Chain A
């Protein structure tokens, strides 16, 4: 045990030393990476500042609104739990979007498969005779399997017939929604409930509460594990390498004989599977304890926002998702405590996306950094 601790300590020190070196005398690539992180942070901050400015005009009590948005999420254990609860689905769909965008695929199936994943997960968890860990596992696997089947549609159409996956997946989302609604209403509706909803999911087949005094479930751990696994897959695995290369330059990937077709299919299927899994985790860890979604939940689209903030890097997705979850929770509190509706959050989101995606933002600063370091290295050589 002591030896292990020492080893971990030396590993950590080593990491710190490297990190320090990269901060003090960064190479050009590291500079660009730090710059990009800085840019995202600056964009987010700027968006919040602009939002606060708008709040001054939009609210009768702007200070209270800003306070509710920025500070209130940390006011109690319960609300921190709410942040983390909003965080979980965003991680799933953010990772799903990242895996697909990394391959150059703009597939919106995250929306539909999150819905159908939630539905299938609930149904299996309710009617399966197996209870406990096995029950949850099978429910999640079933959700993933059904998402995969739907995921095949845009993936194969793109790979074989070069049909635009964006259009197909957008349309498919509604097919998934209404198929789900049909089955829910016709076969699985709980007559005892006034709502259109399934029966209550047995307690043993649900994710446990992670933090007492909150609604946060152990699904949080699953979400983070998925993000890490997806990151390892993309950056260390052979198929991940092919997916990234295909996304960066498909003509090159084809020329190098990398099997572009299978990469395109694989990335889209992974995207569908991960968001389907997320749907199941959301329902099995949810407050209602049953499935009662009557519209697309919107997490699929949010996944794209998270992916953009994270630079499509699954390792960074949890950070981006946490940030967005924090803002969302703040917005909810703002609507509870002041006269501003929670939809106000959309403005902040839109601002962040526009600024982060804007290539020209902070370009001059970037050029100055790059130019300086080029000159320096030239001088060192001379």
Chain B
């Protein structure tokens, strides 16, 4: 490896966002030609920012970037493209209305007399796809594709622009284990053809499996670069968080009591499409029931119904025997339901409000006496939560928008669980959260269960599913395809088969 050329060097990169967040503080990274390089770190460590700077999406506040030893200024993604750098974003940047071929050549259209030459475009895309071993139908509309296929289109789009350096932002976050393996085969093929691949990730087993070298970041700073073969998973995670962490939460066997949430024959149709098809299940006190499945199989619709956002459904949803259909969100919350939403920045917090204000929002009557705020009590509640939930901040009047992802999520969890709920709907509670916070959140969920809460967990992170669930319901195409009562007897591969709809017999497993 020592012989390989340094293709990218980013030195002393500092980036301060307008809201005052220091994302990169003298960050450093060095990439060798033809390697698969992992950029790892907790959330808020600044890895995405560093790569956005490399791709010209963000401008560094200070610092230097060298490509093949020559200093460059990358003012925009166009400049990055011309330097042979391409990026596959976590949220795909595709146009659903256009075909695969059209999407791939977008920005670099093959034209004849100023019009798109469809035939040549098609040939070009087919040749490209074949060359890199990715099967796609060039004439299919992107909107009809599955997530894996969309990802392939994204990668091909980057390759079509003759990128030699490809950055992938958390590419496996949306994939099942099988799909992940397929992606890895393709990435290895890319490496063999002389491309350089940078993967932003915090999944340790994947780093071990596919990457050559790893750069670790912490708090926006460079921690070190290692040959993956020289470091163990434990060492990587210790370097990422600065201390050793336990991945598995300790969990005693539970004895569920009476049901709190009862879902009976719930269906939701939009036009011809069945988003939810006759779903029935219950969640009991002292039980963590996990809804697991590839995203877009009805989980989101179910959560919206249970939390009172959507009233347009068939069937019944009851909390402790009370039908929630006529109740608004406030009244449903008053029944003892708490909700950790999937989109925490979108509606889990008020980023412009202070930590204290965010913490009291769902229990205003605790702090407002005769309509006016009891400031002392508010601050007391806030201080207690900050301490108990280990929210890293300067003080409770700091704006939530200034916190890192993991700490924002801790604010959400503190607010939703400071008064133990009867039913907690936790929707992807640890997505995009750093390892330290994940462990904390997992312990908290188990603690709540033991104290008698009923917990409905929606997760697509399999290690989370396995470490927390007392029961797993697998969703596929809007219905429950498996009800797994003894998760510990199930293998990850088998769960993957259920999630992909390849196995459906899982009436009651084990």
Residues of A within 8 A of B (CB): 27-29, 32, 236-239, 241-242, 244-245, 248-249, 251-259, 359, 363, 366-367, 370-371, 374-375, 377
CB neighbours (8 Å) of B333 from chain A are 257
Contact A237–B373 (Cβ < 8 Å): yes
CB neighbours (8 Å) of A359 from chain B are 18
Looking at the assembled complex, report how far the CB atom of B87 sits from the nearest CB atom of chain A, in whole angstroms: 25
Stretch at the interface among B121-129, B224-232, B340-348, B465-473: B340-348
Stretch at the interface among B38-46, B195-203, B397-405: B397-405
> Is B114 interfacial (CB-CB < 8 Å)?
no
Which residues 4-56 of B have a CB within 8 angstroms of A?
A: 14, 16, 18, 20, 22, 25
**Contacts A28-B394, A367-B61 known; A238 to B371 CB distance under 8 Å?**
yes
CB neighbours (8 Å) of B397 from chain A are 29
**Contacts A28-B394, A237-B372, A249-B351 known; A258 to B18 CB distance under 8 Å?**
no
Looking at the assembled complex, report how far the CB atom of A8 sits from the nearest CB atom of chain B, in whole angstroms: 21
Contact B20–A32 (Cβ < 8 Å): yes
Contact B402–A255 (Cβ < 8 Å): no
Partner pick for B373 among A27, A241, A257, A371, CB 8 A cutoff: A241
Bound complex: CA of A254 vs CA of B398, how far in Å? 23
Bound complex: CA of A241 vs CA of B371, how far in Å? 10
Q: Which 4 A-B pairs give the minimum distances between C-beta atoms? A: A257-B330, A251-B347, A370-B20, A238-B368
Bound complex: CA of A256 vs CA of B358, how far in Å? 10
Looking at the assembled complex, report how far the CB atom of A377 sits from the nearest CB atom of chain B, in whole angstroms: 7
Contact B329–A257 (Cβ < 8 Å): yes
Given A27-B395, A249-B349, A370-B22, 18 extra CB contacts under 8 A = A237-B368, A237-B373, A241-B368, A245-B361, A251-B346, A252-B348, A253-B361, A254-B329, A255-B307, A255-B339, A255-B347, A256-B329, A258-B330, A258-B364, A367-B18, A367-B61, A374-B22, A377-B394
Bound complex: CA of A223 vs CA of B507, how far in Å? 71
Contact B22–A371 (Cβ < 8 Å): yes
Bound complex: CA of A99 vs CA of B349, how far in Å? 22
Looking at the assembled complex, report how far the CB atom of A371 sits from the nearest CB atom of chain B, in whole angstroms: 5
Looking at the assembled complex, report how far the CB atom of B218 sits from the nearest CB atom of chain A, in whole angstroms: 12
CB neighbours (8 Å) of A238 from chain B are 364, 368, 371-373
Contact B352–A363 (Cβ < 8 Å): no
Bound complex: CA of A294 vs CA of B331, how far in Å? 50
Contact B348–A245 (Cβ < 8 Å): no
Contact B352–A256 (Cβ < 8 Å): no
Contact B16–A371 (Cβ < 8 Å): yes
Max count, chain B CB within 10 A of own CB: residue among A237, A241, A257, A366:
A257
In the complex, 23 of the A-B residue pairs with CB atoms within 8 angstroms, ordered by the A residue number, are: A28-B394, A29-B397, A29-B399, A237-B371, A238-B364, A238-B371, A238-B372, A238-B373, A239-B371, A241-B364, A242-B364, A245-B353, A249-B351, A252-B347, A252-B348, A254-B347, A256-B362, A257-B333, A257-B362, A366-B18, A367-B61, A370-B16, A374-B22
CB neighbours (8 Å) of B394 from chain A are 27-28, 377
CB neighbours (8 Å) of B154 from chain A are none
**Contacts A241-B357, A257-B330, A359-B18 known; A29 to B398 CB distance under 8 Å?**
yes
CB neighbours (8 Å) of B22 from chain A are 370-371, 374
> Is B328 interfacial (CB-CB < 8 Å)?
yes
Looking at the assembled complex, report how far the CB atom of B143 sits from the nearest CB atom of chain A, in whole angstroms: 25
- A254 closest partner in B (C-beta): B329
CB neighbours (8 Å) of A239 from chain B are 371
Interface size (B, Cβ < 8 Å)?
Answer: 39
> Is B350 interfacial (CB-CB < 8 Å)?
yes
Bound complex: CA of A371 vs CA of B399, how far in Å? 17
Max count, chain A CB within 10 A of own CB: residue among B16, B349, B397:
B16
Looking at the assembled complex, report how far the CB atom of B13 sits from the nearest CB atom of chain A, in whole angstroms: 13
Looking at the assembled complex, report how far the CB atom of B378 sits from the nearest CB atom of chain A, in whole angstroms: 10
CB neighbours (8 Å) of B61 from chain A are 367, 371
CB neighbours (8 Å) of B373 from chain A are 236-238, 241
**Contacts A29-B397, A238-B372, A374-B22 known; A258 to B14 CB distance under 8 Å?**
no
Looking at the assembled complex, report how far the CB atom of A294 sits from the nearest CB atom of chain B, in whole angstroms: 42
Bound complex: CA of A216 vs CA of B395, how far in Å? 45
Bound complex: CA of A139 vs CA of B352, how far in Å? 40
CB neighbours (8 Å) of B353 from chain A are 244-245, 248-249
Looking at the assembled complex, report how far the CB atom of B343 sits from the nearest CB atom of chain A, in whole angstroms: 8
Contact B350–A371 (Cβ < 8 Å): no
The 8 A CB mask of B368-392 against A (1 = contact, 0 = none) is 1001110000000000000000000
Max count, chain B CB within 10 A of own CB: residue among A255, A363, A367:
A255
Looking at the assembled complex, report how far the CB atom of B397 sits from the nearest CB atom of chain A, in whole angstroms: 6
Contact B349–A252 (Cβ < 8 Å): yes
Bound complex: CA of A28 vs CA of B21, how far in Å? 11
- B333 closest partner in A (C-beta): A257
Bound complex: CA of A32 vs CA of B354, how far in Å? 14
CB neighbours (8 Å) of A367 from chain B are 16, 18, 20, 61
Bound complex: CA of A53 vs CA of B221, how far in Å? 47
CB neighbours (8 Å) of A259 from chain B are 330
Bound complex: CA of A29 vs CA of B348, how far in Å? 22
Contact B402–A28 (Cβ < 8 Å): yes
CB neighbours (8 Å) of B330 from chain A are 257-259
Contact A249–B16 (Cβ < 8 Å): no
- A247 closest partner in B (C-beta): B352
Contact A245–B16 (Cβ < 8 Å): no
Bound complex: CA of A252 vs CA of B22, how far in Å? 26
Max count, chain B CB within 10 A of own CB: residue among A248, A249, A377:
A249
- A373 closest partner in B (C-beta): B20
Contact B329–A28 (Cβ < 8 Å): no
Contact B351–A255 (Cβ < 8 Å): no
CB neighbours (8 Å) of A255 from chain B are 307, 309, 329, 339, 341, 347-348
CB neighbours (8 Å) of B347 from chain A are 249, 251-252, 254-255
The 8 A CB mask of B410-431 against A (1 = contact, 0 = none) is 0000000000000000000000
CB neighbours (8 Å) of A245 from chain B are 350, 353, 357, 361
Looking at the assembled complex, report how far the CB atom of B503 sits from the nearest CB atom of chain A, in whole angstroms: 36
Contact A248–B352 (Cβ < 8 Å): yes
- B361 closest partner in A (C-beta): A256
Looking at the assembled complex, report how far the CB atom of A153 sits from the nearest CB atom of chain B, in whole angstroms: 25
Looking at the assembled complex, report how far the CB atom of A253 sits from the nearest CB atom of chain B, in whole angstroms: 8
Contact A28–B361 (Cβ < 8 Å): no
CB neighbours (8 Å) of B328 from chain A are 257
CB neighbours (8 Å) of B20 from chain A are 28, 32, 366-367, 370, 374
